[in-house]
Amino acid sequence: MVDQNSSSSWLKCLNNMSSMVMRNDHGGVTVEVGGEEGYAVRNARKKELVEVPWKGAPTMAHLFEQSCEQFNHNPFLGTRKLLQKEFVQSSDGRRFEKVHLGDYEWKTYGEVFACVCNFGSGIIKLGHSVDSRVAIFSDTRAEWLIALQGCFRQNVTVVTIYATLGEDALVHSLNETEVSTLICESKLLKKLNAIRSRLVSIQNVIYLEDDNSDEDAFSGSLSNWTIASFSEVEKLGKENPVEPNLPSKNAIAVIMYTSGSTVPTIVVQKHEYTLLLGVMITHGNMVATTAAVMTVIPNLGSKDVYMAYLPLAHVFEMAAESVMLTAGCAIGYSSILTLTDSSSKIKKGTRGDANVLKPTLLAAVPAIIDRIRDGVVKKVEDRGGLVKNLFHFAYQRRLTAVKGSWLGAWGLEKLVWETIVFKKIRAALGGKLRYMLCGGAPLSKDSQNFINICMGRVTIGQAYGLTETFAGATFSEWYDHKVGRVGPPLPCSYIKLVSWEEGGYLTSDKPMPRGEIVVGGFSVDEHGMRWFYTGDIGQCHPDGCLEIIDRKKDIVKLQHGEYVSLGKVEAALSSCDYVDNIMVYADPFYNYCVALVVACNHSLEKWAQQAGIEYKDFPDMCNKQETVTEVLRSISKVSQLVHASLLAST
């Protein structure tokens, strides 16, 4: 009989020996640094912090120009042409837009560089002063990146604003940064028109053309501003070229307004508003992160195709595209509504963007990965029978292997399951994906295991960073399949853990030091030794990799003095099948927490069908006492299981 414990120990020993021989220059190592006392780590590959990818490229404007020279004839920015759109009506009367899209149409690096030069010249000729700021208020698209680089080429600071931002936050962002030129999609002109009397500094509005544009309806009401289309500004610059005014590395490149950076609420006419806080990022910050990430992704280059669909107003996507353009990759634009064949906006019979583009690289946030996982599970459950049983059997066999047991599916058996079970899942994202990076928020261990198993040869890693560090802090090693970790420090940063005694997280903790995560390096400050206190709590593994375990703001004290981590409670309860989304709230004047739960439509409908519960629609089902009882029972069961697991681990 085989001793599983001794075999597992032998396998771990073999893996450790392999790591010692092959990967002694990977991970993180301790380092002596200044500042507050703590446990500090640097990347093992580089003894000195990385500042630039190569000499003579201190800013993003310099990097972009050199990339366009090097990859002049290579495809750069791709967009699918809209062939047809229609509206369909659901049974409840709601209308949904469906689109039929053509193939990707590409501009080369050389062609994009010409567009950038023309646009940069155009905004100057339009009357924009280099001392004032440009704001981009748009969904992610090729023109977004062209406008950004055009502004960089004339040393103009860009303010990034989410296209979904509300009116009050939009007014605050534009007025606080004294934006004089606003670039927006034509579909957003209606929102702009509604707030025009509250905007004090806007002089120029440049709209991005759209097939269903309605900008003509607002041309009269916006007449107090200079209005021009994106193509008109390009044409103006082409006919009136302006010499480039390249920035220095210390120049402010972007001011990012993101949902993660807020200032206290204010009261306007008896209404409370939480306003966003703009984060200033220099060219040096951007270049440092870009240079560091390029050292981490193996074989990154012009053969890679990156799918861009996350908001460019978010630091994660802007950092990703900065890396791609520096490495000469092709970038194909998409949206979450057209990503796959089954995406909500894709007309039946039309291929989704991933199936057409066939990307090799993809960035994602946990919500997207969770949506992919839930979609796969739903399809499997709906098929039932042999398909369902085969999938779950294959998944459990591979999960056993992923967790480190030699009794799981390895070798030939792994190949069999990947071929007959998981191949179709990989095909949904084009079939050529080799690396998926997750950032923006912690990825659950279950979701990371799911991607590692169902995507076969695709590596999924996690990155950790903040807007203030231009996403540059840590990045998973390519070979590291351990779940829950975010990798060692990027070569542009030091990571330090500082004890937080009140919360019980100390750098002297065993077996791993714990504390507040502090980031220092070129992605934070041009001198490399300015430290940014993140408010996140982490622990450092023996190989120098970081794991995020808590958040200072998430920890609240209840009436009787108990500390509760709201994030951990939310993460635990979200594993309940009936929970689609959850928010936990705690008040220091009470001795318990309250959870606000958004119920999962699919799971509850399936339960109601099995239980014989009759209902008119989903709201009607949610209001039934049987449904409330079932959801509470399930959440209570999950709570008990989590509690028992925590007791067993102490």
Structure confidence at residue 15 (pLDDT): 40
Query: Is the alpha carbon torsion for 533, 534, 535, 541 positive or negative?
Result: negative
How many Å is the Cα radius of gyration of the chain?
A: 26
207 falls in which pLDDT band (50, 70, 90)?
Answer: very high
Q: What is the pTM of this model?
A: 0.84
> What would the mean pLDDT of 368-388 be, rounded to a whole number?
86
* 3-state percent breakdown (helix, strand, coil) of the chain, nearest 5: 35, 25, 35
For 567, list phi and psi in degrees, rounded to 5.
-60, -40
Listing DSSP states for 386-446 in one string gives: HHHHHHHHHHHHHHHHHTT-TTS--HHHHHHHHHHTSHHHHHTTTS---EEEE-SSPPPHH
Q: Please choose, from the candidates 522, 584, 525, the residue with its C-alpha nearest in 3D space to the C-alpha of residue 551.
A: 584
Please say if the pLDDT value at position 176 is more than 90. Answer: yes
pLDDT value at position 171? 92
Residues forming beta bridges with residue 495, ordered by sequence position: 41, 519
Above 90 in pLDDT, residue 284?
yes
- What single letter denotes the amino acid at residue 649? S
Confidence of residue 221 (pLDDT cuts 50, 70, 90): low
**What was the pLDDT predicted at 490?**
95
As a whole number of angstroms, the distance between CA 234 and CA 142 comes to: 14
**For residue 84, what are the β-bridge partners?**
100
Mean per-residue pLDDT, 449-469: 88
Residue type, 377: V
Residue 648's pLDDT is what? 55
pLDDT tens across 463-512, in order? 999 999 999 899 998 888 888 899 999 999 999 999 999 889 999 999 99
Q: Which fold has domain 60-333?
A: Rossmann fold (3.40.50)
pLDDT of residue 344 exceeding 50, the answer is yes
Q: The domain at 558-649 falls in which architecture? A: 2-Layer Sandwich (3.30)
- Domain range list for the chain: 60-333, 558-649
Mean pLDDT of the 276-292 span: 92
Give me the mean pLDDT over the 533-548 stretch: 94
- Per the prediction, the chain carries an average pLDDT of 86
What is the structure's pLDDT at 56?
A: 79
Q: Please give the order of strands across the beta sheet that includes 514-521.
A: 28-30, 39-43, 493-498, 514-521, 531-540, 546-551
Give the range among 5-9, 418-422, 506-510 with minimum mean pLDDT: 5-9
Residues 22-69 pLDDT 10s: 345 679 999 988 888 999 999 998 888 888 887 779 999 999 999 999
Sheet of 158-161: strand order equals 226-229, 204-208, 179-185, 133-137, 158-161, 252-268, 271-282
DSSP symbols for 431-495: S---EEEE-SSPPPHHHHHHHHHHTTT-EEEEEE--GGGTT-SEE--TT---TT---SBPTTEEE
pLDDT of 374 above 70: yes
